[in-house]
Structure 1
Amino acid sequence: MSRMIMNLKGLGALSIPRVFFNMQLISKLNALKKLKNDEILHIKNRLNYYNKINDFFELKKIENVEHSKLGENLLKNTSYSFDFYKVSKYFHKDLKINKFFYDCSSEFLNTITKSRPIDSKNVILKLDSRRHFCFLNDKNDFKDKVDLAVFRGACVQQNRIDFINKFKDCKRLNLGNVNKENRSGYLSKEEQLKYKFIISLEGWDVATNLKWIMSSNSIAITPRLKYETWFMEGKLIPNEHFLLIQDDFSDILDVMDNALTNDKLVKNIIKNQNEYIQQFLNPNIEELLGILVLAKYFYYSNQMKLDNFVIELFDGI
């Protein structure tokens, strides 16, 4: 979806009186009653992963964090705000939140963010989804791809700069620093899928490309993951969902060599990564989860009451 279409859809949703969506909240939550036990368990596990709040708290202002009502600042940082509105529109406009709608590499308690350090307690929602949740239909088998690794990304962070400098002359790695000032080395996602390995390096927070790599028949190569989003990167298992390399990248060629001679490893990773993607493909479940993340937030901040069948999903009860 282009940014223009995203903005038009977002503005269209904002033009509908909020009370229309508020009236639908009960029916949205009642959808839980129609789900199977395994679906309920899946939702419960993800809900409490995204929102780890399990005690009542007083919502206070936090330094560097926006403290506002749901009905305020609806057009601020639009890619985040439009995604937020998709689920927050079902709640009353006067409910208050703490939110940080930018790349986030710090812990902010009781605050809604797109990303967080793994094992921290920021409340995660599916934000900036146009950029981050892009899945591909890869028709090329791993065996038919080029025996090389590719990387394209904006290299302004030190870890990415170090990587490019270290391997700029390596013939087995097709590397490119692609930013607003330098587009000459640009490769589309489809062109990168011609390679067996695609290098994924975190930036200000998560690596945007990890999600679409895992929807393909190529394999991601990455150092230890430090950050996570709605994709639950903290649940990914090294050498089962991606190939792990050292933080200094020193073993990347050895890791590639091992994978190229280990069919079992390759097939297992591709199978696992493609299966992992499946849980994010049901739009109804994705919306319901977003609503529940907020409902739990408002419940524990003493701003709304909920029926017991919803409260029973919360870990702290």
Structure 2
Amino acid sequence: MATLQRNAQKLIYYARNAMRDIAPPVLFRRRLGRLLDQARLSDASVRQRLNYYNTLREPFTPSPEAVPVNRLPSDRSMYYYDLKEFTRYFDPGLRVDLEFGDVIEVPKMPSIVKDRPIIGDNGNGVLFKLNKFRHFHMPADDVAFADKHPLVVWRGELNNPIRTLLLEAVRDLPFCDVGTPRATAPAEYRKPYLTIDQQRRYRYIISLEGNDVATNLKWIMSSNSLCLMPPPTYETWFAEGQLEPDVHYVPLAPDFSDLAERVHHLEKHPAEAQRIVAAANAYCRKFADERAEQAICLLVLYKYFVLSGQIEPDPEVWRFIAG
């Protein structure tokens, strides 16, 4: 049932975006001024978020490889649609540098990206809400923390050494149900596939980065289960760099040597565990405000185009961005 529902959601996603592509672009561009006026009336949290995603301050010139927004690469269709949803409000000749896919290094030029490293000077990575169908899937969870299995679960691909390290570190811990469903993995690492709903029946779910960010982090933090993970090193529109250990998630040592101690403590102090779950849920709720999400997406692009010298800023809108 969950798979059928998810497939239906994907069909709706593509149908909606295909209809947008058919509509005359001028209809969207006519609305930009009104939408920006609405955006500048937003509260301070919108300003804080847009300037977190787009930290650029100084003027710059797009690279020779920058593409006009009416000719975005469409080979990664979800990336294309997620960016085109908002670039269509701007002049089609405006140019943008971008890197679709998993970005593990900061671009040399200011570029639109899905993710960037958290540590260091990451300003050239301008975060945008890309591949959101996959990464912002946060279904409702109707099972209370206390009613879940008092066990730890993890499933995933072995595409990062830290994941194999986890399987080795907890192999003899009876309260851990961790493994990969990949048939080509060593036998001692293999476990049956579990759906999101099946994993959320456990009190504790481990989140681990793979090629870049951990895809499961959003649906874990929006559930009534508790997220356990080493501090993240990459971030997306979810702003993983703003997550606080022992506030939004339970931090684990890089070698997972403290996992047993952490779980034992939380089982003895369920109120502490549920406080972290509540804070994680609250963190996730802001991404459900579609009006704020639209305002931030438009403002992130607007700031990019202004600083790249491609449009003259509206004084009121720019005053809001600058604070």
Flag whether TM exceeds 0.5 (same fold). Answer: yes
> Which of residues 8, 30, 37 is equivalent to 1:23?
30
Compare 248-257 and 5-14 and name the one that shifted more. 5-14
| Structure 1 runs (4+) greater than 4 angstroms displaced | 179-184
Aligned-residue Cα RMSD (Å) equals: 1.8
What SS does the corresponding residue of 2:179 show, helix, strand or coil? strand
The answer for the alignment partner of 2:16 in structure 1 is 9
> Whole-Å Cα distance in 2 between the matches of residues 204 and 69 of structure 1?
29
TM-superposed deviation, 1:222: 0.2
The answer for the alignment partner of 1:88 in structure 2 is 87
Q: Aligned partner of 1:227: which letter?
A: Y
The answer for the alignment partner of 1:128 in structure 2 is 131
Q: Alpha carbons of 1:290 and 1:192: their partners in 2 closer, same or farther (altered >3 Å)?
A: same
Q: Alpha carbons of 1:257 and 1:292: their partners in 2 closer, same or farther (altered >3 Å)?
A: same
Q: Deviations over 1:265-313 (max 9, x none)?
A: 2122012111111111111111111000000000000001121121113
Alpha carbons 2:208, 2:229 under 8 Å: kept: yes
TM-superposed deviation, 1:141: 1.2
> Whole-Å Cα distance in 2 between the matches of residues 155 and 313 of structure 1?
45
Alpha carbons 2:57, 2:307 under 8 Å: kept: yes
> Which of residues 225, 233, 236 is equivalent to 1:218?
225
Q: Aligned partner of 2:193: which letter?
A: Y
Residue 268 (str. 1) matches residue 275 (str. 2): yes
> Whole-Å Cα distance in 2 between the matches of residues 73 and 162 of structure 1?
39
Q: Deviations over 1:103-155 (max 9, x none)?
A: 11111141110011114221001000011001121111111111110001111
Equivalent positions of 1:148-163 (< 5 A) are: 148-163=151-166
Residue 113 (str. 1) matches residue 113 (str. 2): yes
The answer for the alignment partner of 1:164 in structure 2 is 167
Q: Deviations over 1:37-85 (max 9, x none)?
A: xx42011000100000011111124xxxx62111113522101111111
Residue 173 (str. 1) matches residue 176 (str. 2): yes
TM-score scaled to structure 2, two decimals? 0.90
> Whole-Å Cα distance in 2 between the matches of residues 179 and 255 of structure 1?
28
> Whole-Å Cα distance in 2 between the matches of residues 18 and 165 of structure 1?
54
Alpha carbons 2:114, 2:237 under 8 Å: kept: yes
Residue 138 (str. 1) matches residue 130 (str. 2): no
> Whole-Å Cα distance in 2 between the matches of residues 26 and 140 of structure 1?
44
> Whole-Å Cα distance in 2 between the matches of residues 74 and 147 of structure 1?
46
Equivalent positions of 1:1-317 (< 5 A) are: 1-2=6-7, 3-32=10-39, 35=41, 39-61=42-64, 67-108=66-107, 109-119=109-119, 120-121=122-123, 122-179=125-182, 185-315=192-322
| Structure 1: tracts of 5 or more residues without a match | none
What SS does the corresponding residue of 1:20 show, helix, strand or coil? helix
> Whole-Å Cα distance in 1 between the matches of residues 138 and 118 of structure 2?
23
User: How many residue pairs get matched?
Assistant: 308
TM-score scaled to structure 1, two decimals? 0.92
Work out the percentage of aligned pairs sharing the same amino acid.
32
What SS does the corresponding residue of 1:280 show, helix, strand or coil? helix
What SS does the corresponding residue of 1:71 show, helix, strand or coil? helix
Q: Aligned partner of 1:88: which letter?
A: T
Alpha carbons 2:60, 2:309 under 8 Å: kept: yes
Alpha carbons 1:7, 1:78 under 8 Å: kept: no
Q: Aligned partner of 1:132: which letter?
A: H
What SS does the corresponding residue of 2:43 show, helix, strand or coil? helix
Q: Deviations over 1:153-192 (max 9, x none)?
A: 1112211122223323432111121348689711111111
Alpha carbons 2:169, 2:255 under 8 Å: kept: no
Q: Deviations over 1:227-256 (max 9, x none)?
A: 111011111100110000101111111111
Alpha carbons 2:68, 2:94 under 8 Å: kept: yes
| Structure 2: tracts of 5 or more residues without a match | 1-5
The answer for the alignment partner of 2:3 in structure 1 is none
TM-superposed deviation, 1:314: 2.9
> Whole-Å Cα distance in 2 between the matches of residues 112 and 255 of structure 1?
38
> Whole-Å Cα distance in 2 between the matches of residues 99 and 313 of structure 1?
25
Q: Deviations over 1:208-229 (max 9, x none)?
A: 1111111111001100110111
Compare 2-11 and 144-153 and name the one that shifted more. 2-11
Q: Aligned partner of 1:72: which letter?
A: R
